[in-house]
Structures are given as structure tokens and as C-alpha cells.
Amino acid sequence: IEIYSLHVDCKVTSRFAHTVITSRIVNRANESREATFEVELPKTAFITNFSMSIDGKVYPGIIKEKVAAQKEYDTAVSRGQSAGLVKIRDRKLELFHVSVAVAAASKVTFELTYEELLKRQLGKFELLIKVRPKQLVKHFQIDVHIFEPQGILFLETDSTFMTNELNEALVKVQNETKAHILFKPTVDQQKVNSELNETLLNGDFIVHYDVQREATAGDIQIVNGYFVHYFAPSEMPVFPKNVIFVIDRSGSMAGTKIKQTRDALLKILQDLRPEDHFTFITFSNKVAEWKSSLLPATEENVASAAEFVQTLSAMGGTHINNALLAAVSVLDKAESLPERSVSMIILLTDGQPTTGERNVEVIQKNIQKAINGKYALFCLGFGFDVSYKFLEKMALSNGGIARRIYENADAALQLQGFYEEVATPILMKIEMQYPENAIEGLTKNNFKLFFEGSEIIVSGKISNELDLLPVEIKAQSHTSDLTLKEEANVKEKEQVFKNQKYIFGNFIERLWAYLTIQQLLEKAISAQEEDQKTLEARALELSLLYSFVTPLTSMVVTKPSDQQQAELANKPTEAG
């Protein structure tokens, strides 16, 4: 079985990435063989299309409601693993895998399309393309086209497998608003060495970039009556933080995990700013407070904390409820904290509650009642024994986010990376306001916190014949209350995309649908049961309308009638 052509074609238009992967395979044997198509794609992406064509006959993937598809195909879904074709691969990727029998001398073409909205983190967007053909490919090509009307500030490519020879196969062409990256290595350039027919292409091909930002109230783009508004202020004073680290040191954390936690905390302590306040609460069967109140992050206090961190060892049970309540209580009692500051609790745990209150729903209610919207709770789940669903619901109900930390060699870096993202809050209580009677289907438009290096995105549909779209942003910075105003000329904005060759026409509408589905699903996690059903029904409707494989839909992959029945491709979620 030979892959004679593999083409990755990626078009990024104003952060929205549309990727098509086409693999052409021939069976050179004189009997039937199995051809496999494997793609590792970002977890944040939604598959929108898949097809196989065998000797000219096309077998499309059909997107249906998940429940209906499951019934129809009665697929055995093993617990925690989604059916057949898509599995979580690692921290960032999931794996799509399909195989089909190909007759002697026959050819098959696989084509997979997925879309995602690139998320700005620490000052840049990342487009990740996984390259793993497992053999030398005669025609191998990656094309990335980027169009950013705001202008490209910088663009860099990075790869885990580059050599000097391969570097020669990489071409970058760039002007103010557009870039084209072409990577087209010959068979010889792909080889590990001239004697061996082994490929060097195995790993990540990454594009990082950021855009120019001028207007203070962000940037508005409009296509076919849908708008997207990007807001990412910079160079603002940073809010002092009051952080409580709540660290699990139950028996299951023993060994590598507690060591990686210590390593990460030592680095994080170095990153605290002098105006921050912090403390630690550790828990196993019992809850222990390092100090009875928050301390300013002076050199002396940080050094004393580092000594404490180095003594952390693990044994005993998991008393999550009381540990979090203790953290809330320390913040409630805190005095002499900076007037305008951001308070957050960062929980790191690797297991289920085993001591004290064990009912996760009761714990969620207790914590939500205690926090009462005053502080943000971030939950980090270490490994796969945690109830991720529980942590995610708790974080989302309290203005934070949850993240799974994968038990790899780089776990300490994952912890540090997470802290870095939330380390510099520069705005709070952000409200993005648009004319009420003129916008439909507005995505989330108020945000508790904005962190330096990230980006706020709001999208919606401009209903009536609006000539000017006025926007007003209200927010609090460390030093003042801000009101920013801007108006966008609808016709002028529409013109920007009119004559662009590689724009897929309705991309802002698809971006709006993608963002809306993501937010509906996220909202459903922490909603009451009735609301949950309504939110999921709306998300399902949009998933089907825009043909996205989301946790509520399945793609039915049809195959030639003489082969096994159709298979399902589902979207796995971190919560299983």
C-alpha cells in the first residue's frame, strides 16, 4: 500500500482556519489490502466533511444527530472511548482513523476537512499541523494561506523534525496582510539517510503569528451580514492578584506527580509580582493552611514559600470540599489587600473526593454558594483518575476554567504554562455593547477577566439595513474605569473580503456558528437540567445546519457494500 500523494491545504482567514487533508493511496500488491487514513487534528477543531473515493466512486460521510446515528448503527461504544474513528490522542490532539479494503491495483482517495477558530494565547496564534505519513510520499505538500486584514505583525514556523535539507523545501512569502507557507520536500529530502527508506516527517509543523492592532476598541470585520469583533488591548497596568494554591497531596500524588508539582510551583513562585498576595493550602485527609492569611509576594515570603514547597510529600485521602472552603474563607477574611485586585483559587488534584463530603454535586453547590461570584476558581486535573466533569463544572460555575494535566515528562511545564496564561489580568468586568435592536444571535459579550496576551471575540448577525455598526466597550482596569467607542462602516468592511481569492465566502457566519456551539456546550456543563436540554438542542440544531461533528452529532462513514457496515466518527470530550 503506497501513499503517493498527501496534501494538507490550510486557509486561515481572520483567525478562522479551514483545513483539508487529501491522501491518495494505491494498492501495488496483486491482492486486496487494507488502506488506512490517519489524521491527528486539534481537539478545538470540528470535523466538517469526510469522503473516500474508491476507483472513482465516492463514499461520503453523513453528519447526523448522535443519538439517532447510534441507534441506527447500534455501535458498541466502549465506556469512555468514543466509537471507532476518533480518539483523544494527547493534550492537544485527537486522532481520526479509518481503514478500507482496496482491491489489487486499485486507488483510494481520502479527504478530511476540519475547521477551528485559532485562540490567542500569550500573544500569539498557533496553527498546529501534525505530520506523520509513516512512509516516504512522492507528492507531499503543506500549503498554509493566511489572510489577516488587520495586518500580520509577525509570522514564524516551527517544527519538531526539520533538518537543513528539509528547510530548503520550506518557502514563506508574506506581505502586509497575507502570507503563504509552502512545504514541499522531495522524496530524497524526506529520507532519514540515503540508504534507508525511512521518513524524517514525524511530528509537529507549527505556524505562530500575531496581528497588528491599532484601534483601542478592537477590530470589526463583516461578511454577508455577519460580524466578528476582536478585542485585545495591551500595555495596560496589571491587576495585583490574590492567589491561593490549593494542592492535593493525597497518596496517589506520590512519586513523579508531587515532584512535578513542586518543580512547577517553584517556578510559579518566581513569577509572582511584588504587588501580588498569595498562600498555599494543602490537603489529604486533613486540610493544612501554610499561613493563616495571604502574604505579599516579597522576596522574603517567596523564599520562605519555596522552602515550604520543597517539603511537600504525598499520603492519605482527598478532602476537596473542605480544602476549597478553607481557601474561600481565607479570601473572605483577607484585609489590606489592594483595592483593585483580582482574587483567584487554583486547585490541583489527581483524584476523586475520598474524605469528608464525597458527593460531587454537594461539593459543587457548597463551593458555588461560598464563592458567590466573588473569586475565580481554576481547576487542574492531574491525570485520568480525576472526575474531569466535576472539575470542569466547578470551574465554569465560578468564572474559571478547567484543564487536564497529562501525566507526561512535561507535566511541570503544562502547570507553569497554565499559570502563565492567568498570571496577568489587565481588565475586569468587560462588557461589549452593540445596538440591541440591530443584532441577532450575539455570542457571549460580557467577560469577568481579560488576561494579557489573549483575545476577546464576539460575533453576531447584523439584522436590519445598518450602515454604521456602533460598539461600546466598558471595562475596569487597574487604574480606572474605561469606556471605548468605535463605529464600523458596514459597506466598507464588507468590501475588505470581496476580492480575496482564497476566502471561503461565508467564513464569518461559520466562525459565528463555531463560536456559538462552543459557548452553548460550555454553558450546558454548568446549567440546570432543563436549561441544559434547551442549550444542547440549540447547539445540535447549529451543528447539523453547519455540518460540524460536535459532541452532539456523529458522522456516519459509509463503505463499499461488500465491506463491514458503516462506522461512526464522534467527537470525544475531555470529560469522556
pLDDT digits (tens, 9 = 90+) for 300-350: 999 999 999 999 999 999 999 999 999 999 999 998 888 899 999 999 999
Mean pLDDT of the chain: 92
Low-confidence ranges of the chain (pLDDT < 50): 75-83
- What pLDDT shows up at residue 565? 66
- What pLDDT shows up at residue 444? 97
- What pLDDT shows up at residue 550? 95
Common-topology check for domains 2-212+555-559 and 241-423? no
Torsion sign, CA atoms 539, 540, 545, 547: positive
- What pLDDT shows up at residue 419? 95
d(CA 406, CA 260) in angstroms, rounded, equals 11
Which CATH superfamily does the domain covering 241-423 fall into?
A: von Willebrand factor, type A domain (3.40.50.410)
- What pLDDT shows up at residue 80? 32
Output the nine-digit C-alpha cell for 505: 465566502
* Residue spans per domain, the chain: 2-212+555-559, 226-233+427-522, 241-423
d(CA 117, CA 131) in angstroms, rounded, equals 20
- What pLDDT shows up at residue 86? 85
Model confidence over 459-470: pLDDT tens digits? 999 987 789 999
Question: CB under 8 Å to 282, separation ≥6 — which residues?
Answer: 246, 247, 248, 249, 288, 290, 312, 323
**Domain 2-212+555-559, what fold?**
Immunoglobulin-like (2.60.40)
112-124 burial: b if 16+ Cβ within 10 Å, else e? bbbbbbbebeeeb
Q: How many helices (H) and strands (E) does the chain have?
A: 12, 31
Output the nine-digit C-alpha cell for 52: 473516500
Q: Kind of pairing, strands 57-65 and 125-131?
A: unpaired
d(CA 444, CA 222) in angstroms, rounded, equals 18
Question: CB under 8 Å to 378, separation ≥6 — which residues?
Answer: 344, 345, 346, 347, 395, 400, 401, 402, 403, 418, 422
Q: Is 269 helix (H, G, I), strand (E, B) or coil?
A: helix
Residue 124 φ/ψ, nearest 5 degrees = -155, 160
- What pLDDT shows up at residue 90? 81
Q: Which amino acid is at 29?
A: A
Report the predicted TM-score, pTM, of the whole model to 2 decimal places: 0.93
